[in-house]
Amino acid sequence: MTQSAQKPKAAQPQLWPQATERVPRGTPQNCEMFSRLDADLFLANQLFRHGRPASVLSGVTDASARRERIRSEIVDHGLGAALVRYRRDRPSETLSEAFTRLYGEPL
C-alpha cells in the first residue's frame, strides 16, 4: 500500500477531558473534608514515625473521633514536644504545634 492510499487515522476518543482552566485550590465543594482528612493522615504518619501504631485511623470514624484519638495518642505518650519537621529558614514545628495549626484548637 502506498502512502497516498493509506487510510487516515481515526481520532482517538479522549479518555480524560482536558481542563480548560485551572481551578483555584480550595474551591471544590468537598475541599474542607479533604483538608481535614489530610490533617488526620499527616498527624497519623508523624505518630507512626515516632513509634506509635497508626490505630488512630482504624475502623469507621468521623473527623471528631479521629481528632480525639490523635490528641489522646500525643498526650498519653508525651509526644507533644516531638519534632514534626525541621526547617532551616523557619522555626521547627512540634506535634502539639502541628495539631494546633491543623485543627485550630490547642492540644
Set of cell numbers at residue 55? 490505630
Calpha distance 65→62 (Å, rounded): 5
pLDDT at 75: 92
Q: What is the mean pLDDT of residues 32-46?
A: 77
Q: Which of 54, 55, 49 is nearest to 84 (CA)?
A: 49
Sequence-distant (≥ 6) Cβ neighbours of residue 30 within 8 angstroms: none
pTM as predicted: 0.62
In the predicted structure, residue 76 carries a pLDDT above the cut 80: yes
Q: Which of 9-13, 34-38, 60-64 has the highest mean pLDDT?
A: 60-64
pLDDT at 55: 78
Calpha distance 45→33 (Å, rounded): 18
Set of cell numbers at residue 63? 473527623
